[in-house]
A and B are shown apart, each in its own frame.
Chain A
Amino acid sequence: MTQEFTVVGSRLPLVDSWRKVTGQAVYGDDLRFPNTLLCRLVRSTVPHARIVRVDTSRAEAMPGVRAVVTGKDASARFGVLPISQDEEALAIEKVRYVGDIVAAVAADDEATAAAAAAAVEVVYERLPEYFETGPGLAPVAEPIHAWTVDGSNTQKRVEQHFGDMDAALDAAAVKPKAHFDFIGVGHQFTEPHSVTAVPEADGRMSLYTPTQVPHYVHRALAKVLEVPMHRVRVFRTAVGGGFGGKSDPFPHEMAVCLLARKVQRPVRLTFDREEVFLTNRGRHPGTYDVQIAFDADGRMLGLDARAVIDGGAFASFGVVTTYYNGVLSQGPYKIPNFRYEGARVYTNKAPCGAMRGHGAVNARYAIESVIDMAARELRRDPIDLRLQNVLDPYSKTTNEFRITSNGIRECLERVRDESGWTAKWGKLPFGKGIGVAAGFFISGSALPIHQTRTPQSTVHLKIDVDGGITAHSMGAEIGQGSDTVIAIAVAEVLGVPLDFVRVRSEDSDTAPLDLGAYSSRGCFMIGNAAREAALVIREKLARAAARLTGRDASEFAFANATLSIDGDRPVSVSYFEALTEALADNGALLAKGWYQAPRMGGTYKGAGAGLAPAYSFNACVAEVDVDVETGLVRCTRMTLAHDCGRALNRLAVEGQIEGCMHMGLGQALLEEMRYERGRITNPNLLDYKILGPFETPEMRVIVVESEDREGPFGAKEAGEGPLIPVLPALGNALYDAVGYRSHELPVRPAKVFQHLQTLRKGGATPAKTWETNGR
């Protein structure tokens, strides 16, 4: 399949970047409405307690305070998943973590709101507190929620078996196993959450919010406000980073609307950085135990895994996370036998949720580390061993995932060739190392969260006399470039410059439904919907050109804002001539395109989890330099190949991949949310370290294009998948450097140092003895 494209595949600035480089983009806290009140929240100061009394009288009596709301003002529970709606706008009966919202105050200015919030008196009756997952697996004295498994704190258990795992282990020549511990990390986008609720004159409620999921916010707001959905409007402001951290409907979004309704004035709330940490929804901490069976020839026979993940106080996406820890271990290799047990346990800590590479990142670290162990036992090159086992294109996994395009083989070969792997692996001096890992990820969840027959993505187009093309979508631009994907798809199909297209993707009143920016669904689903809509317009313009020329509409090619037919009798009609003809006696051209994933997958319990219309694949080689005196680990170079089907915008794809390397390395080397008795002790960007420009290594990006048959112009996701192999590649490089296998993340330099001390015992100069073991 070779296609000529004019826009697709170029290096294009994001269409919204002009607003961003000039300061014109309007983020949550940049909005100003007349007569706006400022909001501050009263948050729980204790991890787990029954609310005995909330006394707001002192706060309400303060000059300048206009309204206070508490749990009495809203009774409906909500949550992003319909099956686990356990969140309250304001805590009703109990508080479940330090930071849970108990009351909200609206006042004339922020200082008054803060003073009033401090004057709200809350009396708590302390309850047993649970900070670890272990005790929560069995029945406890006071479950954090009423609907847990058998009186424990376990929210969800998952078990999946395929084939005969015990037989696979019996037949195995090598079967390394290991236990891994992961600390929680957060998205830490630069824009703190900031929302404004505006009660409209007609009685409707508008919420302006930097969200990845306007549709789910819309649903939750209607539920909490107890009004029909059409009485609510959600306006997505510019989003200053999401990464999954703005993909839940949030209690604070509900709270400002309750205040605005009560006082009938706009109410704005902007978080400080500590509140971003308290809101969390970051990657689950947890443990992962995995054993992988290989025969003597290196064929993978089976994978046996057990995950226990720490959900924090609420469900969020946790049911999905629990499944993903297992089902997203089913590739990118052929794994004939498989066993997975997963559990998500509530604790009295800030709620965890979806974060870039949702549910697949920690599991992948464990699996790729154990594959590295197997390669050494089998005396095999880790890249060769992986190549031997990879899934084929257009095949099926054991758990019946439909694999379509698959560039994993090319990814592995190219990171090998372009990193200089063969000359380096096992051959670098002590302290320097190189490691590899592979990964894959969903390109959009095939099953929508709400089981309806409404398409997952719809795009509307409108063209009027000015010739500009307005695209309406609720696809959430969060910096990943989904607006640009729409513009590219439309410009490509209609053969017009990119700046003919303007994307309006903010307002639920004007945009058709889209499920939002999560599960790496945007490019695939919105891109397809936009392309379909543009094809409808193309047909209308072609028929107009046919009327003008007497030629057949199907013959026209669209390029350079011209409709033309080459050959013996060439004709050419400008885009504007065709448009004028198409508008005559007709008015503005309108079109709709939509995408809904085809039916797929097995029929067993949980078969829907992890199903995607396509999967992205990738491989990463990391090179590290360990300071053998201190144990400090530095990543010096990273080579990452990612199969994104086709790069619609090469610049954006590279940007996504580089961002993934940066964020993945941060989790591998530095990032951790630290708790002490339920309190986050590092809720700021000084103590929670994210990588700066000097800690980010040289990054080599390889874009692999497998041309997916169902993707828009062949495209698949590139925003999340590339993060997944980064962490294990780093871990495996560390092992190659000094023989230390980190069974936890982030890597602890102190433990690397201890390991180095052990090697030095007896006065021997450290050497790569573990390498010769593996040859």
Chain B
Amino acid sequence: MKRTLVTLHVNGATWEVAVRPHDTLALALRDGCGLTGTKIGCDMGTCGCCTVLVDGRPVLSCLTLALEAEGARIETIEGLAGAERLHPVQRAFAECGGSQCGYCTPGFVMTSVALLRDNAAPSREEIKAAIAGNLCRCTGYAKIVDAVEHAAADLRAASTGATPPTGGRGDSGGDQDDAGIHGRRQPAAARR
């Protein structure tokens, strides 16, 4: 099948990738750019493993055509860390136990990064609403919510120059149950 060159701006670099009309952004990132940090868990928009940021918004790259992403600013898990070894969200997912098998982790991390850019101090319910389009089969989500909370605190502290809280990292418990109340939906990452 004839391929078309698509220009993708990924993590600050520009790629020209030859794609078929139906190739997904997930496939283009993994096979075209060699960025295999973006995972494919279902290839039908149900699990959120493939979440990347397109112009700052979390998007399911398995439901986005590569051609649709022409010219857009794409961020993947590989592009998060700057001069630091790790982005605070990445660090928090490791330190709080938010990652076990790790396959869903890039998707959760990208979703969380987008959330924290919009909302510097999300409640646990707001965090749950943001990650509601991502499935994790290992953690039961508690430590993922912990991780996002801690990352938020770290990011706030970094922006004010204060020392981030260190104690109690990874403690779960205390999340108020209020199932059924979904906060804001992530446009492309929602499911069900």
A-B pairs with beta carbons under 8 Å apart, 28 shown: A11-B170, A14-B100, A17-B94, A20-B101, A21-B86, A21-B105, A27-B39, A29-B30, A30-B36, A190-B136, A192-B40, A241-B103, A273-B44, A273-B46, A636-B177, A636-B179, A654-B97, A655-B139, A655-B143, A659-B140, A661-B140, A686-B192, A692-B135, A695-B179, A696-B142, A697-B179, A699-B142, A701-B173
Find the A residue at minimum CB distance from B41. Answer: A190
Give chain B residues whose Cβ lies under 8 Å from the Cβ of A26: 36
A23 to B89, CA, bound (A): 13
Give chain A residues whose Cβ lies under 8 Å from the Cβ of B131: 693
User: Provided the pairs A480-B100, A658-B140 are in contact, do residues A693 and B78 lie with their beta carbons within 8 angstroms?
Assistant: no
Shortest CB distance B26–A (Å):
11
User: Provided the pairs A191-B103, A273-B42, A692-B135 are in contact, do residues A699 and B140 lie with their beta carbons within 8 angstroms?
Assistant: yes
Find the A residue at minimum CB distance from B27. Answer: A110
A188 to B47, CA, bound (A): 11
A676 to B35, CA, bound (A): 40
Q: Any chain B CB within 8 A of the CB of A25?
A: yes
Q: Which of B28-42 contact A (CB under 8 A)?
A: 30, 34-42
Are B138 and A698 touching (Cβ within 8 A)? no
Shortest CB distance B180–A (Å):
7
Find the B residue at minimum CB distance from A651. Answer: B97
Give chain B residues whose Cβ lies under 8 Å from the Cβ of A637: 177
Scoring B residues 160 to 192 as 1 if CB is less than 8 Å from chain A, else 0, what string do you get? Answer: 000000000110110111011010000000011
Are A21 and B90 touching (Cβ within 8 A)? yes
Shortest CB distance A186–B (Å):
10
Are A694 and B182 touching (Cβ within 8 A)? yes
Shortest CB distance B44–A (Å):
6
A304 to B53, CA, bound (A): 57
**By CB atoms of chain B within 10 A, which of A18, A651, A694 has the most?**
A694
Find the B residue at minimum CB distance from A658. Answer: B140
Are A111 and B142 touching (Cβ within 8 A)? no
User: Provided the pairs A662-B141, A686-B44 are in contact, do residues A694 and B102 lie with their beta carbons within 8 angstroms?
Assistant: no
Give chain A residues whose Cβ lies under 8 Å from the Cβ of B173: 698-701
Give chain B residues whose Cβ lies under 8 Å from the Cβ of A699: 140, 142, 172-173
Shortest CB distance A127–B (Å):
33
Q: Any chain B CB within 8 A of the CB of A326?
A: no
What size tier do the contact residues of chain A reach?
35 or more
Pairs of residues from A and B, 8 with the lowest C-beta to C-beta distance, nearest first? A23-B37, A479-B101, A20-B102, A240-B103, A662-B140, A23-B77, A658-B140, A30-B36
What size tier do the contact residues of chain B reach?
35 or more
A234 to B42, CA, bound (A): 26
Give chain A residues whose Cβ lies under 8 Å from the Cβ of B49: 190
With A111-B1, A658-B139 already in contact, 4 other A-B pairs whose C-beta atoms are closer than 8 Å? A190-B101, A192-B41, A651-B96, A661-B140
Give chain A residues whose Cβ lies under 8 Å from the Cβ of B109: 21
Give chain B residues whose Cβ lies under 8 Å from the Cβ of A179: none
Q: Any chain B CB within 8 A of the CB of A52?
A: no
Are A662 and B139 touching (Cβ within 8 A)? yes
Are A23 and B106 touching (Cβ within 8 A)? yes
| Interface of A (DSSP majority class) | loop
A273 to B177, CA, bound (A): 31
Q: Any chain B CB within 8 A of the CB of A390?
A: no
Are A685 and B102 touching (Cβ within 8 A)? no
Are B143 and A698 touching (Cβ within 8 A)? no
Scoring B residues 11 to 38 as 1 if CB is less than 8 Å from chain A, else 0, what string do you get? Answer: 0000000000000000000100011111
A441 to B95, CA, bound (A): 29
Are B90 and A22 touching (Cβ within 8 A)? yes
Shortest CB distance A109–B (Å):
10
Give chain B residues whose Cβ lies under 8 Å from the Cβ of A698: 173, 175-177
Shortest CB distance B192–A (Å):
7
Scoring A residues 170 to 194 as 1 if CB is less than 8 Å from chain B, else 0, what string do you get? Answer: 0000000000000000011111100
A719 to B112, CA, bound (A): 27
A273 to B78, CA, bound (A): 25
Scoring A residues 218 to 255 as 1 if CB is less than 8 Å from chain B, else 0, what string do you get? Answer: 00000000000000000000111111000000000000
Shortest CB distance A657–B (Å):
8
A190 to B138, CA, bound (A): 9
A364 to B48, CA, bound (A): 33
Q: Any chain B CB within 8 A of the CB of A478?
A: yes
The total number of A-B Cβ pairs within 8 Å is: 191
* B42, B78, B91, B95: the one within 8 Å of A23 (CB): B78
Scoring B residues 137 to 165 as 1 if CB is less than 8 Å from chain A, else 0, what string do you get? Answer: 11111111100000000000000000000
Q: Any chain B CB within 8 A of the CB of A663?
A: yes
Are A684 and B102 touching (Cβ within 8 A)? no
Q: Any chain A CB within 8 A of the CB of B128?
A: yes
Q: Any chain B CB within 8 A of the CB of A634?
A: yes
User: Provided the pairs A23-B77, A240-B102, A241-B137 are in contact, do residues A11 and B169 lie with their beta carbons within 8 angstroms?
Assistant: yes
Are B135 and A29 touching (Cβ within 8 A)? no
Give chain B residues whose Cβ lies under 8 Å from the Cβ of A577: none
Are A479 and B172 touching (Cβ within 8 A)? no
Shortest CB distance B38–A (Å):
7
Give chain B residues whose Cβ lies under 8 Å from the Cβ of A658: 139-140, 142-143, 172
Give chain A residues whose Cβ lies under 8 Å from the Cβ of B94: 13-14, 17-18, 20-21
Q: Any chain B CB within 8 A of the CB of A341?
A: no
Shortest CB distance B8–A (Å):
17
Give chain B residues whose Cβ lies under 8 Å from the Cβ of A14: 94, 97, 99-100
Find the B residue at minimum CB distance from A692. Answer: B132
Q: Any chain B CB within 8 A of the CB of A120?
A: no
Are A685 and B177 touching (Cβ within 8 A)? no
Give chain A residues whose Cβ lies under 8 Å from the Cβ of B191: 686
Find the A residue at minimum CB distance from B103. Answer: A240
Give chain A residues whose Cβ lies under 8 Å from the Cβ of B99: 14, 17, 20-21
Give chain A residues whose Cβ lies under 8 Å from the Cβ of B72: none
Scoring B residues 75 to 86 as 1 if CB is less than 8 Å from chain A, else 0, what string do you get? Answer: 011101100001
Shortest CB distance B63–A (Å):
12
**By CB atoms of chain B within 10 A, which of A22, A634, A651 has the most?**
A22
Find the B residue at minimum CB distance from A653. Answer: B97
Are B97 and A652 touching (Cβ within 8 A)? yes
Q: Any chain A CB within 8 A of the CB of B70?
A: no
Are A694 and B132 touching (Cβ within 8 A)? yes
Are A693 and B86 touching (Cβ within 8 A)? no
A625 to B40, CA, bound (A): 36
A634 to B178, CA, bound (A): 11
**By CB atoms of chain A within 10 A, which of B35, B179, B182 has the most?**
B179
Find the B residue at minimum CB distance from A273. Answer: B42
Are A634 and B179 touching (Cβ within 8 A)? yes
A243 to B100, CA, bound (A): 12
Find the A residue at minimum CB distance from B46. Answer: A685
Q: Any chain B CB within 8 A of the CB of A272?
A: yes
Give chain B residues whose Cβ lies under 8 Å from the Cβ of A68: none
Give chain B residues whose Cβ lies under 8 Å from the Cβ of A18: 86, 94
Shortest CB distance B97–A (Å):
4
Are A25 and B141 touching (Cβ within 8 A)? no
Q: Which of B101-136 contact A (CB under 8 A)?
A: 101-106, 109, 128, 131-132, 135-136
